[in-house]
Amino acid sequence: MKLLQMADPVRYARMTSEELRETFLLQGIFTPERIDLAYVDLDRTVIGSAVPTVAALKLETQPELRADYFLERRELGVLNTGGPGSVSVDGVSFDLDKLDCLYVGRGSKSVTFSSKSVFAPAAFYLLSYLAHTEYPTKMVKFADLKGLELGSAETCNKRTIYKTIYRDGIRSCQLVMGFTLLAPGSNWNTMPAHTHMRRSEVYFYFDVEPDQRVVHLMGPPDATSHLIMADKQVVVSPGWSIHAGVGTKNYGFCWGMGGENQAYDDMDLVAIRNLK
């Protein structure tokens, strides 16, 4: 697995654009016929992707985990952002269309990914945190989700939030996960921005058209930097950093958190006028 070692606010202040990208950005994943994984020392997060084509892909343990199998001490969230596919967990198969989400509980020994068509393969986004207890594996279909509409056309951030793995949805030990879809004509996501020292957060941007980009804002509210992000790239946000972005066109992004609590609304808001 690739290793991402986070910087603190002191080191962050002296980093170049390239150093910021090397530290906080995960790119070059979603490779056909492979499972790509990265280990983040912050909250022991594992981020990954699985793009099966002809053959199924099995989620294997990694030397860095020192575990007999991948989910021996972990839980896993899976979001499909591609064509129809399926995930088999200990012999039980779950069919996932685009934007369907699956939670896989701790103790699950065998996890495999497959696509229904080699011409339109599934693109599974993976997010895993440590777990101290077991919750049952469960799937939620996009068609069954009730979205929360926020923002407005006037502020260019009309969007719908879909919560999947959280206290009132699919139960988990530590993982909180969902995704947001921006309406046509809107391009700002989480604005006003916020921080939450009690949880780190991971943003995965998807459905960004090839010739479009997202400008992701990060850092302390009074000393922000940015990352230019393309489709299917991931950025890690420490608790001291804001995490907001604006695209050249509307897009989608998956947000996932792990840490002190699972309260979705536990955040320290930052007034727009105080951003620098």
CATH of the domain at 43: 2.60.120.10
Cβ atoms 53, 255 nearer than 8 A = no
d(CA 98, CA 134): 27
**How many CA atoms does the CB half-sphere of 159 hold within 13 Å?**
25
Q: What is the pLDDT of residues 197-225, one digit of tens each?
A: 999 999 999 999 999 999 999 999 999 99
Q: What is the pLDDT of residues 11-46, one digit of tens each?
A: 999 999 999 999 999 999 999 999 999 999 999 999
Mention every residue, 6+ apart, whose C-beta is less than 8 A from residue 227.
17, 20, 21, 24, 25, 215, 216, 218, 235
Sorting pLDDT into bands at 50, 70 and 90, what band is 95? very high
The per-residue pLDDT for 102 is 98
Q: How many CB atoms lie within 10 A of CB 140?
A: 19
Sorting pLDDT into bands at 50, 70 and 90, what band is 146? very high
Total structural domains within the chain? 1
Sorting pLDDT into bands at 50, 70 and 90, what band is 110? very high
The per-residue pLDDT for 261 is 85
Mention every residue, 6+ apart, whose C-beta is less than 8 A from residue 21.
27, 227
Domain of residue 247 covers 2-274
Calculate the average pLDDT of the chain.
Answer: 96
The per-residue pLDDT for 124 is 98
d(CA 210, CA 201): 25
Q: What is the pLDDT of residues 41-68, one digit of tens each?
A: 999 999 999 999 999 999 999 999 999 9
